[in-house]
Structure 1
Amino acid sequence: MRFRIGRPGSTPDRERAEERAYASGDAERPSAEAPLSEHEIHLIKSSAAAVAPVAAEMTVYFYAILFTRHPEVRPMFPSGMDAQRGRLLRALLHIVDVVDDPANLVRFCGHLGRDHRKFGTLAAHFPAVGACLLASLARYAGPAWTQDVADAWAKAYGVVSQVMIDAAEEDAAVRPAVWPATVVHRVPRGHGIAEVTVRPHLPYDYQAGQYVSLETPWWPKLWRYYSPANAPRADGTLTFHVRAVPGGSVSDALVHRAAVGDVVRLGPPMGDMVLDAAVHSDLLCVAGGTGLAPIRALVEEVARRGGRHQVDLFLGARTGAELYGVDDMLRMAQKYHWLTLRGAVSHEHIPGIRGSLPQVLAEYGPWYQHDVFLSGPAPMVESASETLTRHGTLPDRIHHDPFETPVLSAR
């Protein structure tokens, strides 16, 4: 594994000259093969903490110098960069968080590498990104930035970039980077929610519970994450539950503008919140709002496999009117003896269960002999996870999408 990035203090001209030398084979790329030591991990985490208060400002600077030094990459990005800067920041924070956990680091960076194929990312782009990233960190870390810190970040970036490159190359050998898909059905569900069904033009293999990035023709290069609300079907169609959120360009287009016959594009399926991750026969599924989509897909998958699991499903919302999808799930509970459904509201006095989902879970537990699948707004997922852990559920039996992937708040 060999990869090179620019060094702090080097000039743009020097970096470009070095890039040409590495590309021509006239210079040897420093190796990034050795794993990170405990000292290097400490340096990365401590310097990241120093940058944290100005991290948002740093990402603005990063893209400014990236586009100035390498204008050829600008067309790969959308005209509005706010969401993209936020995505970079979340990815960086997560990488720092798992830098001392090699298995999770490789898994996350592998996902990134495969997902970045849809942007047209090539191996040749990584040196430019690395040089600009280190320059940005050096500028905003202040006195915390030393040569040892720079070397640790350079080594970490080499590892991360190579994992991404390898994953992208392996992925390119077996499937496309994007899948065009035609809208074949669209049903408004009220409260700014629509069910949008698409049929990919090429076979699209995914597992129930995974999430998918989607690009519309009205906002090119703006990709947003949504979870299919169904297990794989014989006709290959996928149904998404989309809520139009304030200021949400993509979600608003899908809810209010998309029509049968429109063509969108899908990125590769991602996420590990799948039924195969379960070890227990009893499952606890918890959904808040349109977080019901992947949970509904998982319930369908249990049915497809013959109902070999007992499923306790909790749906939560602020009010009864916002208790999305409850009628559909009630019909499924009547059909499948292994599915038990409970709904809870937190801000309205109506017949039934009252309270937040974490409160209700604590009341109806314990759940330590269950695999748990959580989906909904990140604060709800985090609070429910903490509640379940306090009451004996092992953390590795609690499954949810990564917090840095805003599936449900995507705009």
Structure 2
Amino acid sequence: MDAQRLKDNFAQVAQHGDAVALFFYSDLFLRNPRLRDMFPVGMSTQRDRLLSALGRIVSQVDDLHNLVPFVQQLGRDHRKFGVEALHYPEVGASLVTTLRYFSGSSWTEELARDWTDAYNLVSKVMLDAAQQDSSVNPSWWNAQIVAHERRRFDLAVFRVLPDRPFAYQPGQSASLEVPARMRMWRSYSMANAPRPDNTVDFHVQLIDGGPVSPVLVRSLRVGDWIKLSAPVGTMTFDERSGRDVLLIGGSTGLAPLKAILDQIGALPSPPRVHLFFGARYVDGLYDLDDLQKRAAGAPWLTVIPAVSDHDPGAVAEHGTLPDVIGRFGMWQNHDAYVCGSPGMTDATVDRLLNLGLSHDRIRIDKYADA
């Protein structure tokens, strides 16, 4: 298998953009009509994810150290869609057909062998990971809504009770599916550390044009049921570092940071923690009361709210989160955890690096998928 040949060919194919994924799924469903019911009615997000995953796999095809964990997670994650071993050859056939079509005259027998070998390797890693995961986890958890509170017209905080133990690490996220939007899984972070009663909190803001968030914010009621996927994510707290902690959350990016706060608060000797919580307007600081109550009873915790649109009556710092953290310190001796929109997260990481914090001490979570 020639890694560079695969990269060059995929770069050529990817120039056709969304047409590649559209052709692939059309071919897949024409060959295998029964598979259509495994996918959502609207396929635009699914097509984007296909191209993104393919691009990452091809870019790292000669970097197995980083590629294998990603592919293993794909295998585990696809269990919630009902993917089985018999589906992999069908997908592989449509993938090779798609690549051949968009390669045109540059397609060769060598490329066909390269792609077939690469796909067989990826599918084996995915299948092995899925099989191992099936021995310890269900494909999904059913969870009942036990509390639901609208904090703003476009934002809700709710609590669920899974139907069986749901183990995760603070800072991780899970995909949610609601009956009104079948097969449209969307990722949200758990907003608390695991509890003895197994309940889990989520913070959700309505996304314009999003098919799932309006249901979670406006339509869920106590007693309703949703599905949870297995937890994923690496923005988890490193208890061994011994360093002070910097938590930076924009809007509902606060959720995983609250889970990490729970974990830190349970330590015998918590490190010093600065939590910056930002929003555009003061009413976007939807959970500030709870944070301030925590800080009042925890001498190790300092909470700094920030709003980017100036409000003379707001008891908060004025400015974007990157600007505010820049005014408050240098942070070189801290571990930083950042969660928010992609733009906010990227700008904050850039500012932290400029302030002298090394990249290996910054952990991020972008909630674009929400």
TM-score calculated relative to the size of structure 2: 0.92
Which of residues 9, 14, 19 in structure 2 aligns to 1:57?
19
Shift of 1:143: 5.6
Distance in 1, matches of 2:50 and 2:174, equals: 18
Shift of 1:94: 2.9
Distance in 2, matches of 1:342 and 1:45, equals: 46
Bigger mean CA deviation after superposition, 248-257 or 340-349: 340-349
Aligned residue in 2 for 1:287: 249
1:67 paired with 2:32, answer no
Secondary structure in 2 matching 1:313 = strand
Aligned residue in 1 for 2:142: 180
Contact conserved, 1:99 with 1:105, CA < 8 A, in 2?
yes
1:391 paired with 2:355, answer yes
Aligned residue in 2 for 1:267: 229
Runs of 4+ aligned residues of structure 1 deviating over 6 Å after TM superposition are none
Partner deviation per Cα, 1:245-275 (whole Å, 9 max, x = no partner): 2222221111111111111111101111111
Shift of 1:179: 0.8
Aligned residue in 2 for 1:45: 7
Distance in 2, matches of 1:358 and 1:278, equals: 27
Shift of 1:321: 2.4
Distance of aligned partners of 1:85 and 1:196 in 2 relative to their CA distance in 1, 3 Å threshold: same
Which of residues 318, 327, 349 in structure 2 aligns to 1:354?
318
Aligned residue in 2 for 1:6: none
Distance in 1, matches of 2:141 and 2:147, equals: 18
Contact conserved, 1:344 with 1:357, CA < 8 A, in 2?
yes
Distance of aligned partners of 1:50 and 1:191 in 2 relative to their CA distance in 1, 3 Å threshold: farther
1:204 paired with 2:166, answer yes
Distance of aligned partners of 1:75 and 1:393 in 2 relative to their CA distance in 1, 3 Å threshold: same
1:157 paired with 2:119, answer yes
Which of residues 32, 36, 43 in structure 2 aligns to 1:81?
43
Contact conserved, 1:232 with 1:238, CA < 8 A, in 2?
yes
Aligned residue in 2 for 1:376: 340
Superposition RMSD on alpha carbons, in Å?
Answer: 2.1
Distance of aligned partners of 1:100 and 1:340 in 2 relative to their CA distance in 1, 3 Å threshold: farther
Shift of 1:241: 0.7
Distance in 1, matches of 2:61 and 2:364, equals: 20
Distance of aligned partners of 1:363 and 1:177 in 2 relative to their CA distance in 1, 3 Å threshold: same
Aligned residue in 2 for 1:189: 151
Shift of 1:225: 0.8
Aligned residue in 1 for 2:294: 332
Aligned residue in 1 for 2:132: 170
Distance in 1, matches of 2:153 and 2:229, equals: 27
Contact conserved, 1:208 with 1:294, CA < 8 A, in 2?
yes
Distance of aligned partners of 1:94 and 1:354 in 2 relative to their CA distance in 1, 3 Å threshold: farther
Shift of 1:409: 4.5
Aligned residue in 1 for 2:66: 104
Partner deviation per Cα, 1:98-137 (whole Å, 9 max, x = no partner): 4343222111111111111111111221121122122223
Contact conserved, 2:14 with 2:20, CA < 8 A, in 1?
no
Distance in 1, matches of 2:53 and 2:347, equals: 22
Secondary structure in 2 matching 1:400 = strand
Bigger mean CA deviation after superposition, 89-98 or 138-147: 138-147
Unaligned segments of structure 1, at least 5 residues: 1-35
Aligned residue in 2 for 1:22: none
Distance in 1, matches of 2:325 and 2:114, equals: 43
Shift of 1:97: 4.0
Query: What letter corresponds to residue 342 of structure 1 in structure 2?
Result: I
Shift of 1:344: 2.1
Contact conserved, 2:307 with 2:317, CA < 8 A, in 1?
yes
Distance of aligned partners of 1:312 and 1:51 in 2 relative to their CA distance in 1, 3 Å threshold: farther
Secondary structure in 1 matching 2:204 = strand
Identical-pair percentage: 42
Distance of aligned partners of 1:338 and 1:47 in 2 relative to their CA distance in 1, 3 Å threshold: farther
Contact conserved, 1:181 with 1:266, CA < 8 A, in 2?
yes
Query: What letter corresponds to residue 13 of structure 2 in structure 1?
Result: V
Query: What letter corresponds to residue 367 of structure 1 in structure 2?
Result: W
Distance in 2, matches of 1:321 and 1:143, equals: 58
Distance in 1, matches of 2:6 and 2:330, equals: 39
Partner deviation per Cα, 1:198-243 (whole Å, 9 max, x = no partner): 1011111111111001111112211111111111111100111111
Contact conserved, 1:281 with 1:308, CA < 8 A, in 2?
no
1:341 paired with 2:282, answer no
Report the count of equivalent residues: 368
Bigger mean CA deviation after superposition, 59-68 or 215-224: 215-224
